[in-house]
Structure 1
Amino acid sequence: MKQRKQNYVTLSFDGAMVPSQGKSGKTEPAMESADVAYRLSRMFEESATASAAPNALDAADGSEYTAATTGDVRTARGTLVAPLADEGARCASKPVALVMARSKTARRMMQSVAEAGFSVCAAYTQDHRFDVHLKAAQSTVSLGDKYTDALFCNSHAVLTAAETCGASIVLLCDEALPLAEVDSFLARAAARGMRVFRPLSPEAPLLGWVLCTTDKPAIEEGTWRTCPQCGLSFDEASLASGHYVCPTCGGYLRMSSAERINDLLDANSFAEWSRCVPETDPLGFPGYAGKLTAQRDKTGLEEAVRTGVGSIAGLKVAIGIMESQFFMGSMGSVVGEKVARLVERATDERLPVVVFTASGGARMQEGLVSLMQMAKVSCALARHGEAGLPYISVLTDPTTGGVTASFAMQGDVILAEPRALIGFAGQRVIKDTIKQELPEGFQTAEFALEHGLIDAIVERQELRSTLAHLLAIQVSTASRDGIDPGESSLLVDYASVCENLEHGTATYNTVTYGMLEPEGPLFTQIAARRPRLGKALADLAGRLERTRTHTVSPKRLERALASGGFDAEAGASLEGSSGLADGAAAGGDANRAWRSVQLARNTHRPTALAYIDAFVDGFIELHGDRMFGDDGAVVCGLGWIGGRAVTVIAQEKGSDLKERIRRNFGCPQPEGYRKSLRLMRQAEKFGRPVVCLVDTQGAFCGMEAEERGQGNAIADNLIALAGLRVPVVSVLLGEGGSGGALALALADRVAMQEHAVYSVLSPEGFASILWKDRTRAPEAAAVMKMSAVEACDMGIVDAVLPEGPAPAHENPEIAAEQVRAYVVGTLGELCEEPVEKLLAARYERFIKF
């Protein structure tokens, strides 16, 4: 067969073999879309010959086939080696082929590779150094101590191994196969004079080999960086394009200020402020001045923080970025001075502030002067906040000590990167001081989210977008106070921010490395995992919400459910919650209130999150009460409704049984009301209207809720809403049970969906208290006038919103549109009213009852 003589097999783009002879028997050139599979003997000839090898595609028809001379060999760098008389020396001068394969595959390959003329080098790890297949190789090279799939497909490890053994050929099999698609690896190999091959068929590697090439140029040498979590090294450009997230283990590499600026801010938008601030040595600490000089020489940085101004998606922002590599980001007098100057100048120029924290705490060498920086920056931030300007804190690894106890935790919004170390007292200090054993996951970002200390955990690839939308929401409602949105007249709304993020000024990394899509399957795999990582974090947050310190025991809830009832505020029940069941008949067809009770409890009825998804654009959920925990029964966040930035506070029951248990069946605990209070105050600070979506049987009445001040939390919400200096609109979506519902319904306008209910107590509880007979619940519902129409007739609510031709669970889109239209129209009216007139009308609305 002619292909055998040629030592090539020509393949079409779909993998079919292309004959080299036509029907007439004459040789025909290969088609343009054909690929070529090399035989090992041909690979050896091209590696050993001193003359230029023919192009494989041109050689497929045999017209330019050139056999290699047997005496001339060349090294990986192309250097000629003279023929040697001594056979041992000749063997040592053979071209080296590095075999990247598992032991089972390698055993089959090595003999064939050696028979083709190569000196075979086998890659291994120390824990597999006694594998039998290694004895068949002329040489071996170690990749590391312990085998992992990731190690065998790591560019740096394979290239280092190939250079160590002097390989001119690299054969990729098994776990190393993804490297055949990594352009940076192929470019670097080509620059080193190495050729890389993958098998034509992974299942049959000896059938033929395909040369792997790339058109991209090799990246400069010396740009490798090692992941501290998994120990693997990666190309700097690939890490930059992947936001410095390890493509193998997903670990977050610490970023310098320059890397953070390049990854986050619009290209060429950053201008540094207060670059050089004179150092101080208040204690005259021995050797301190010399250590500062050494740190500057080592890092190229002036101090442990860098400050300036830039823009994110066109939105101008004052930004501070701490440097963990400079004295572990410790806060001395210069750090405090630079951060304080940043905030003061931002206040004077009416700019929002974003600070990325990374610190080991106060700088011990400066004693009490370092401690005073906590107070100094806090004073500057208080002045900034009084001016109605937003401050966003982003916690990175590590954020500890005095920074945690001051400006790191003083943000209007506090974000954190996944798995960042966050805490006041260091773990070593805790162990050494009080000898306390610390649980796994202690003082992580996830731990802080669980305990309600931060608003959200944001992955790096989402950070620029999240900050842009947060800034846009804050700036849009504060623009009347003179906040500068950017260098030009920028329309600040959800659509314009999305457009700017997608098509506007890109970051420096995007301009330099492309659209932030890292190369190759390795990065594709981690990118595919990231959405799941985000879901995993959300699931983790959900699991945390179910912990016994925050909510009632799930088993207790399941027992209550199994027994036919779940009590909240003395007796709300889940009986008959699937629709118009037996109780409806007991009340008669004319009992509108009881029918509404049954429909409001329908497990298929859309919950608050369904309405948020339907008409709140760009919703960003903010978690936690900053004191104890995060209550899943209350969902708070920021977004846009009808083009207007709003704060949304909603009571959420959950869409299925698992979610209902996780969210405590929509019965809030004190942490939920304190979270809503925090978001109300934030809305007031920035002049942002508040939209409340009410759907609860009532506030949770368990012992733990009483211990943590359930009544106090509801009372605080009521008095805050009474005097809140922004418009408030509330819509009752389902059940409106007692004070637990009223805590979000003391509003300028209150509406109910037509099948929602509103009452002082559940009908079961009412019947039990007054008549000692829970079975009279339908009668109680009628007596209490719980239905939307009856509540509107009494003047309790302002409007009844139709749900469409059927209840909301049968036509959710129509129901959601009715709610959206009411909220948009009402906000349009209320936002035009002067604040004092708004407050007076709210007072008159409720004082009349």
Structure 2
Amino acid sequence: MTRRWTARELLDLVLDAGSLESWDAPVDTSGHPDDYRAVLAAAAEKAGTDESVLTGRGTVRGRPVVVVANEFRFLGGSIGRAAAQRIAAAVRRATAERLPVLATTASGGTRMQEGTPAFLQMVEISRAVMAHRDAGLPYLVYLRHPTTGGVYASWGSLGHLTVAEPGALIGFLGPRVVEALTGTALPDGVQSAENLAAKGVIDGVVAPEHLPALVERALAVLVDPPAPSGLPRRRGEPSGTTSAWDSVRRTRAEDRVGVRDLLRYGASGTVRLSGTDEGERDESMLVALTRLGGQPCVVVGQDRTRQSAAAPMGPAALRVARRAMGLAQELRLPLVAVVDTPGAELSRAAEEGALAGEIARCIAELTRMTVPTLSVILGQGCGGGALALLPAQTVLAAEHAWLSPLPPEGASVIVHGDTTHAAELAEAQHVRAVDLLAEGAVQHVVPERDDDTARDVAVAVAAECAAVLAAAGAAGTPG
């Protein structure tokens, strides 16, 4: 750690100059014993704050946001009853005024001088946060050094988007307490922000200096209205003359368009999320808050660049996808699901990790979502792993994308006992995008040209996505 930012310094950094309006009423300490009142007075003098939490309303690049900020210098950022009531009141007011909340923590947890009554306040804070989320309002969390105990185990772990300060110690209990209670020290680095990001517990590690830009991008997606698309829509119809096997081969080429290209060339203000936030991470599934052609949405996509025989798409990837579906539903944002996989993992670990069950749960989740949902078959659409992201209200496909229950080679083995009939089986099974269009499984096919680059296809697909999302918004699709 190179520097420990105070709550006020961080708020000055993130919020527009002069925009902070404090919501904090004076703290009444008259009911406390004299010795504890003396402790509180000394803490206030040391920290320059009247409690361990500051709350209020400010703006980030003109966008209103409610802030809840821990001050570690006030008794280690511990949460007593007054601090807890201040947090809950600020979150409830944010809900009533329909404002997003940015919470930043730096705390050892419950204030030991107040014991169980203070400890129980973590439930009240969590109740207020979840009511805020249930109202479809954003709750963003920035974990600072250190964040442990009841703070981390309640309002510090309930964010739609959660990032942490580089090098921050973050854990259920601080390492000194863990060692004292168990007699065993935790291995070095277990409770570091970097390790938690690598394990899919938090979304990333962000330096304080970069936090304002991240908050601005997130709020631009989460609170700004849709904007007109600046992407040119591709006119014309797909040729339909390419063989199924040629399409399969095209989607397997190294320079084939993927979900990363879709975001790079067709999206703006993208904020990547990582993992399930429950301790799993699979990079074959990408999740982002973004705008496709000006339309805010959650994108979840199978990343072709992160899938291989050595690193196939496993059950954790589908749990990542379900997190994205839950976020879209809760935040009232459209979901765009990108299908592009050679198939899900085939292994003992996948079977014991409930791969089939996760496919089923993804399908079930998509079919019951009430926000606009759009599935894009961008490349390979192989097996149950592809089906998991398919059943949206609208389905688009790039012209050379395809969908089949098995790779053509696998279908050939089942039918003919060898792989040499793969091309024939691909044709017979009607796997092409144009075949899916004829069957009614796809509503629109985006034409591809022989001289297209990945960028060209990405822009064309993104423009079509933007048009679908805009039409859904204009039609008042539930959400």
Q: TM-score range by the shorter chain?
A: over 0.9
The change in CA–CA distance for 1:664 and 1:384 in structure 2 (over 3 A counts) is: farther
The change in CA–CA distance for 1:429 and 1:331 in structure 2 (over 3 A counts) is: same
In the other structure, the counterpart of 2:71 is 323
Residues 1:269 and 2:19 are matched in the alignment = yes
TM-superposed deviation, 1:742: 1.4
Give the aligned residue type for 1:833.
A
CA distance in 2, matches of 1:459, 1:326: 23
In the other structure, the counterpart of 2:4 is 254
In the other structure, the counterpart of 2:90 is 342
Deviations 1:425-482 (A, max 9, x none): 22123223333343331111111112211122222222101101211211125xxxxx
1:370 equivalent among 118, 126, 139: 118
What secondary structure sits across from 2:255 in the alignment?
coil
CA distance in 2, matches of 1:260, 1:676: 33
CA distance in 2, matches of 1:818, 1:280: 66
Deviations 1:658-704 (A, max 9, x none): x555x965x42222212221122221222211112211012212222
CA distance in 2, matches of 1:688, 1:408: 23
Give the aligned residue type for 1:635.
L
In the other structure, the counterpart of 1:611 is 262
In the other structure, the counterpart of 2:464 is 822
CA distance in 1, matches of 2:301, 2:454: 17
What secondary structure sits across from 1:325 in the alignment?
coil
In the other structure, the counterpart of 1:707 is 352
CA distance in 1, matches of 2:17, 2:228: 22
1:434 equivalent among 179, 182, 194: 182
CA distance in 1, matches of 2:69, 2:220: 21
What secondary structure sits across from 1:827 in the alignment?
helix
The change in CA–CA distance for 1:413 and 1:260 in structure 2 (over 3 A counts) is: same
What secondary structure sits across from 1:647 in the alignment?
strand
In the other structure, the counterpart of 2:214 is 466
2:44 equivalent among 289, 292, 296: 296
CA distance in 2, matches of 1:707, 1:287: 57
Q: Is the 8 A contact 1:469 1:494 kept in 2?
A: no
What secondary structure sits across from 2:223 in the alignment?
helix
Identity %: 35
2:171 equivalent among 423, 427, 431: 423
Residues 1:380 and 2:22 are matched in the alignment = no
Q: Is the 8 A contact 2:46 2:73 kept in 1?
A: no
TM-score norm. by structure 2 comes to: 0.92
CA distance in 2, matches of 1:349, 1:796: 43
Residues 1:454 and 2:202 are matched in the alignment = yes
TM-superposed deviation, 1:762: 0.8
Q: Is the 8 A contact 2:328 2:335 kept in 1?
A: yes
Q: Is the 8 A contact 1:280 1:333 kept in 2?
A: no
CA distance in 1, matches of 2:435, 2:371: 29
Unaligned runs of 5+ in 2: 230-240
TM-superposed deviation, 1:321: 0.9
1:730 equivalent among 350, 375, 378: 375
2:343 equivalent among 698, 702, 705: 698
Residues 1:752 and 2:410 are matched in the alignment = no
Give the aligned residue type for 2:380.
E
The change in CA–CA distance for 1:714 and 1:395 in structure 2 (over 3 A counts) is: same
CA distance in 2, matches of 1:664, 1:683: 31
Give the aligned residue type for 2:81.
S
CA distance in 1, matches of 2:114, 2:210: 37
TM-superposed deviation, 1:494: 11
In the other structure, the counterpart of 2:234 is none
Give the aligned residue type for 1:824.
A
Residues 1:794 and 2:445 are matched in the alignment = no
Q: Is the 8 A contact 1:331 1:362 kept in 2?
A: yes
In the other structure, the counterpart of 1:443 is 191
In the other structure, the counterpart of 1:627 is 278
In the other structure, the counterpart of 2:237 is none
Deviations 1:169-205 (A, max 9, x none): xxxxxxxxxxxxxxxxxxxxxxxxxxxxxxxxxxxxx
Q: Is the 8 A contact 1:694 1:731 kept in 2?
A: yes
For these two proteins, the number of residue pairs brought into alignment is: 468
CA distance in 2, matches of 1:675, 1:699: 14
Superposition pairs for residues 489-528 of structure 1, below 5 Å? none
TM-superposed deviation, 1:771: 2.6
In the other structure, the counterpart of 2:292 is 641
In the other structure, the counterpart of 1:75 is none
CA distance in 2, matches of 1:783, 1:640: 38
Deviations 1:2-37 (A, max 9, x none): xxxxxxxxxxxxxxxxxxxxxxxxxxxxxxxxxxxx
CA distance in 1, matches of 2:46, 2:437: 72
The change in CA–CA distance for 1:616 and 1:350 in structure 2 (over 3 A counts) is: same
CA distance in 2, matches of 1:776, 1:618: 46
1:778 equivalent among 411, 423, 431: 423
Give the aligned residue type for 2:116.
L
The change in CA–CA distance for 1:601 and 1:361 in structure 2 (over 3 A counts) is: same
Give the aligned residue type for 1:822.
E
In the other structure, the counterpart of 1:278 is 28
Give the aligned residue type for 1:414.
T
Q: Is the 8 A contact 1:628 1:671 kept in 2?
A: no
CA distance in 2, matches of 1:348, 1:459: 31
The change in CA–CA distance for 1:664 and 1:637 in structure 2 (over 3 A counts) is: farther
Give the aligned residue type for 2:465.
V
CA distance in 2, matches of 1:795, 1:602: 28
The change in CA–CA distance for 1:254 and 1:280 in structure 2 (over 3 A counts) is: farther
Deviations 1:138-176 (A, max 9, x none): xxxxxxxxxxxxxxxxxxxxxxxxxxxxxxxxxxxxxxx
CA distance in 2, matches of 1:630, 1:671: 6
Unaligned runs of 5+ in 1: 1-250, 478-491, 496-589, 839-849
CA distance in 1, matches of 2:416, 2:31: 78
Larger radius of gyration: 1
In the other structure, the counterpart of 1:579 is none
CA distance in 1, matches of 2:269, 2:55: 29
CA distance in 1, matches of 2:30, 2:349: 51
What secondary structure sits across from 2:93 in the alignment?
helix
Residues 1:676 and 2:321 are matched in the alignment = yes
Superposition pairs for residues 538-577 of structure 1, below 5 Å? none
CA distance in 1, matches of 2:227, 2:58: 20
TM-superposed deviation, 1:327: 0.7
Residues 1:685 and 2:330 are matched in the alignment = yes
CA distance in 2, matches of 1:759, 1:280: 71
2:363 equivalent among 718, 737, 762: 718
Superposition pairs for residues 98-113 of structure 1, below 5 Å? none
CA distance in 2, matches of 1:708, 1:335: 41
In the other structure, the counterpart of 2:454 is 812
The change in CA–CA distance for 1:294 and 1:755 in structure 2 (over 3 A counts) is: same
Q: Is the 8 A contact 2:299 2:336 kept in 1?
A: yes
TM-score norm. by structure 1 comes to: 0.53
What secondary structure sits across from 1:705 in the alignment?
helix
Give the aligned residue type for 1:431.
E
CA distance in 2, matches of 1:329, 1:354: 17
Give the aligned residue type for 2:385.
G
Deviations 1:33-79 (A, max 9, x none): xxxxxxxxxxxxxxxxxxxxxxxxxxxxxxxxxxxxxxxxxxxxxxx
Give the aligned residue type for 1:755.
H
